[in-house]
Structure 1
Amino acid sequence: MLRPILFITLLVFTLQGAHAADPIRLGLNYPSTGNYKSEGLELRRGALLAVDQINQAGGLLGRPLELVSLNSAARAEKARANVDRFAKQGAAMVFGGANSEEALSAGQRARELGLLYFPTLGYANEITGRDGHRHLFRESNSAWMSARVLGEYLSWHMPNRRYHYISLDDAWGRSMEQALREATKSRDRARHGYSKIAERGARRSDYLSALQKAAASDADVLVIVLLGQDLVQTMRLAHTLELGKRMQIIAPNLNQSIVEQAGPLVMENVIGTEAWTWRVPQREKSETGQAFVERYIALHQAYPGSTAASAYGIVQQWADAVRRAGRLDSEAIIAALENHRYSLLKDEQYWRDFDHQNVQSIYAVRVRDRNEIMQDRFKQDYFIIIHRMDGEEAAPSLDDWQQERGDQLQLQ
């Protein structure tokens, strides 16, 4: 009689142990094909590094983490459909994406399913502004924040200049151009000209026509509000036309993979913004940030960029919020994230309660000369930090946010 009872007891404990060890799944929307596939690779590398590090430390709530990745191809409809697939696989949260349309569409679907969504590479003001909601937290900076740091730098070092804008005709492109026009006092479109690039289907001739229009203007500063392959192709054409010799070129949201794809010679002296570079941890005296850089280098023989850092930070901060909440319930995690201050890869950051924007320092950067870059061991030391702005100063105020929201003054 004792032996069957012992067998049943052992079986119960085995089943309980197996259930307790079920992985907690995280859904990563990332572009493994299309215009943003290089950024997608960085996203996945940063996320995997965080997942592995958490699992090596014992997991989360006694369970391992598992990263489930699906190709979004930087398409809003595909990213939205992926959220449904993640939910069916039992994902506890979803993050990623490579543009603002993805963030808006996938974030809304996550909200409908009760999942938290953390966009990456989504800079449009609407994400945490007009279209923000309780289930969305943005770690990356907004267009407003990039415009503020660039506007301050340009007003100090290049005052009273004539601008010309080439902008993607999507949510990010429109909000970035508007924010930068405000910050640089280049609102007058008759004096500060522009061209629009279609969100989809743009051809080489479209980029070339926009650049030729800029070349025919009297502009001192050329602002190219594009991302991914759109920016790479436009920068190559601008280099062929030698526009960088007669205009200061601004690419408001730069990242490491853009310089890598276009080439250091093409990108020489271009100014933009970054929320993080691999040199920031040393600058801000961040031990955990430096450890992240060293671990990434050891794994990939390359420097981590801001895209990898953002994905890593999202996973780590979500996991930390779960620990504080003690459960995976979205509402409990929202409460744990709101107004939580932390230092991870640089100086202090926090998630604001009223809009769920991550408030952090933002940097204006300039791409180094090619000769200087080629002397680096990985030939990837692309950026010089030329200006820094505190997150509180860069982010829109509560009054600004409420004006954009209209009647909806609280996240729903």
Structure 2
Amino acid sequence: MRRLMICSFLMVLAATANAAQPIRLGLNYPSTGNYKSEGLELRRGALLAIETLNRQGGVLGRPLELISRNTAAREEKARANIEKFAAEGAAMAFGGATSEEAIAAGQRARELGLLFFPTLGYANAITGHDGQRYLFRETNSAWMSARVLGEYLSWHLPNRRYHYVSLDDNWGHSMEQALREATRSRDRARHGFSRISARGAHHEEYLAALKKAASSDADVLVIVLLGQDLVQTMRLAHDLKLDQRMQIIVPNLTGSIVEQAGPQVMEHVIGTAAWTWRVPALVKSEQGQAFVDAYIAQHQRYPDSTAASAYAIVQQWAAAANRAGSLHSEKIIKALEDHRYSLLKDEQYWRSFDHQNVQSIYAVRVRSRSEIMQDRFKQDYFNIIHRMDGEAAAPSLDEWQEERGDELSLR
């Protein structure tokens, strides 16, 4: 009897120790390179989500722990990091700063049975042609950004001549194509373009592209770049006074870009964002406002959309695991698909057929420098100028299947 009691005690002790063992989440983020400012925002948002969840009891009675690795915005590093996360027992992985990273990391995660949630990956292919069962995208696609911009521009700047300066990668091509369709600027002879190397672009390359734009008759200059590529190009455009003779469009805007380039350089630029720190008050989201307040208290600055995306991903994965009662990827997939929720804004949901998060998208304009400088943190960068419902912005099932070709379901 005594031996039986000892065995039972040891079994309970082992079960208790296992229950208290942290659940690891793997974050791919660029801590160096062109996107390191965005990477810092990703990490801050993820850590805040984990702190919030752990105060509430964690997931399935266990605390969460973040393990993070630098990708330097390189797909080969992102893929290798996924392998390391899996070896360290991570339950899921998320992050990244480019579409190439998202696709590469997502493919390796699927091979290892891990769910992957890309951030800052806007190429249509992520949930389109290259979409797969183990990948869920919280951020919007190029298609969604193009639709809200196209509608706004057709109303307020109709019949204009466009010139495109685009990154020569998956996202750059898909964003330019989607925006050409949305703005009816398909004719490349009339609406010119330049390509910027996806890696290792130099000052001379940015300058040549902008001089080509300056010599055109364009009324609208679309700069399809991110990170330091965008910062340097915007500074040159300002020096060349292109912002005084053209409306500049940057399809995917973040607060960190405005901060790095400077409010005067970015003044009146139009782009899109899925979220700004003012959205929770606009839609009366208590949880969204709590996130904003907690972020401000920790960092004495406003959260960016990048931090909000990382925060939402962790929160939604955790909620799905609790609903499923399991950390098993297949069970969490079922708990996520077509699940509707409101967290940092109005209602969103993860579509079952492509795993794209469907949510409202905003067209925003960078405020004037004088307005920004009046703010307490000098970081209130955006005015929301247009909103499009997620169902109107996202591609339909027929459009998605047309892009997929013969493979009409996720695998």
TM-score range, shorter chain: over 0.9
Q: Secondary structure at the match of 1:323?
A: helix
Q: Deviations over 1:74-108 (max 9, x none)?
A: 10000000000000000010000001000000000
The letter for the 2-side match of 1:163 is Y
Q: Deviations over 1:354-408 (max 9, x none)?
A: 0000000000000000010000000000000000000000000111001000110
The letter for the 2-side match of 1:61 is L
Q: Tell me the equivalent position of 1:392.
A: 391
1:14 Cα deviation (Å)? Answer: 2.9
Once residues 258 and 395 of structure 2 are traced to their aligned partners in structure 1, the CA distance between those partners, rounded to angstroms, is: 29
Q: Deviations over 1:163-205 (max 9, x none)?
A: 0000000000000000000000000000000000011111100
Q: Tell me the equivalent position of 2:308.
A: 309
Superposed, 1:239-388 pairs within 5 Å as 239-388=238-387
1:257 Cα deviation (Å)? Answer: 0.4
Q: Secondary structure at the match of 2:91?
A: strand
Once residues 335 and 15 of structure 2 are traced to their aligned partners in structure 1, the CA distance between those partners, rounded to angstroms, is: 28
Q: Deviations over 1:25-61 (max 9, x none)?
A: 1000000000000000000000001111111111111
Once residues 24 and 67 of structure 2 are traced to their aligned partners in structure 1, the CA distance between those partners, rounded to angstroms, is: 6
Once residues 257 and 115 of structure 2 are traced to their aligned partners in structure 1, the CA distance between those partners, rounded to angstroms, is: 29
1:20 Cα deviation (Å)? Answer: 1.4
Once residues 241 and 6 of structure 2 are traced to their aligned partners in structure 1, the CA distance between those partners, rounded to angstroms, is: 79
Q: Secondary structure at the match of 1:364?
A: strand
Q: Tell me the equivalent position of 1:71.
A: 70
Once residues 332 and 151 of structure 2 are traced to their aligned partners in structure 1, the CA distance between those partners, rounded to angstroms, is: 36
Q: Tell me the equivalent position of 2:200.
A: 201
1:43 aligns with 2:42: yes
Once residues 334 and 19 of structure 1 are traced to their aligned partners in structure 2, the CA distance between those partners, rounded to angstroms, is: 24
Q: Tell me the equivalent position of 1:118.
A: 117
Q: Deviations over 1:312-356 (max 9, x none)?
A: 000000001001111011111111100000000000000001000
Residues 1:129 and 1:5: Cα distance change in structure 2 (over 3 Å): closer
Once residues 32 and 102 of structure 2 are traced to their aligned partners in structure 1, the CA distance between those partners, rounded to angstroms, is: 17
Q: Tell me the equivalent position of 2:213.
A: 214
Q: Tell me the equivalent position of 2:133.
A: 134
1:15 Cα deviation (Å)? Answer: 2.8
Superposed, 1:78-157 pairs within 5 Å as 78-157=77-156
Q: Secondary structure at the match of 1:356?
A: coil
Larger CA deviation: 211-220 vs 15-24 = 15-24
**5+ unaligned residues in a row in structure 2: which ranges?**
none
1:31 aligns with 2:30: yes
Once residues 356 and 368 of structure 1 are traced to their aligned partners in structure 2, the CA distance between those partners, rounded to angstroms, is: 34
Q: Secondary structure at the match of 1:91?
A: coil
1:17 Cα deviation (Å)? Answer: 1.5
Q: Tell me the equivalent position of 1:238.
A: 237
The letter for the 2-side match of 1:362 is I
Once residues 330 and 4 of structure 2 are traced to their aligned partners in structure 1, the CA distance between those partners, rounded to angstroms, is: 42
Once residues 192 and 337 of structure 2 are traced to their aligned partners in structure 1, the CA distance between those partners, rounded to angstroms, is: 41
Once residues 199 and 9 of structure 1 are traced to their aligned partners in structure 2, the CA distance between those partners, rounded to angstroms, is: 60
The letter for the 1-side match of 2:406 is D
Count of matched residue pairs: 411
Once residues 312 and 58 of structure 2 are traced to their aligned partners in structure 1, the CA distance between those partners, rounded to angstroms, is: 16
Q: Deviations over 1:254-297 (max 9, x none)?
A: 00100010010100000000000000001111111001000000
Runs of 4+ off more than 2 Å: 4-16
Q: Tell me the equivalent position of 1:227.
A: 226
Once residues 8 and 113 of structure 1 are traced to their aligned partners in structure 2, the CA distance between those partners, rounded to angstroms, is: 35
The letter for the 2-side match of 1:228 is G
Once residues 9 and 125 of structure 1 are traced to their aligned partners in structure 2, the CA distance between those partners, rounded to angstroms, is: 55
Q: Secondary structure at the match of 1:222?
A: strand
Q: Tell me the equivalent position of 1:189.
A: 188
Q: Tell me the equivalent position of 2:168.
A: 169
Larger CA deviation: 324-333 vs 120-129 = 324-333
**5+ unaligned residues in a row in structure 1: which ranges?**
none
1:246 Cα deviation (Å)? Answer: 0.1
**TM-score with structure 1 setting the length:** 0.98
Q: Deviations over 1:143-167 (max 9, x none)?
A: 0000000000000000000000000
Residues 1:410 and 1:6: Cα distance change in structure 2 (over 3 Å): closer
**TM-score with structure 2 setting the length:** 0.98
The letter for the 2-side match of 1:129 is G
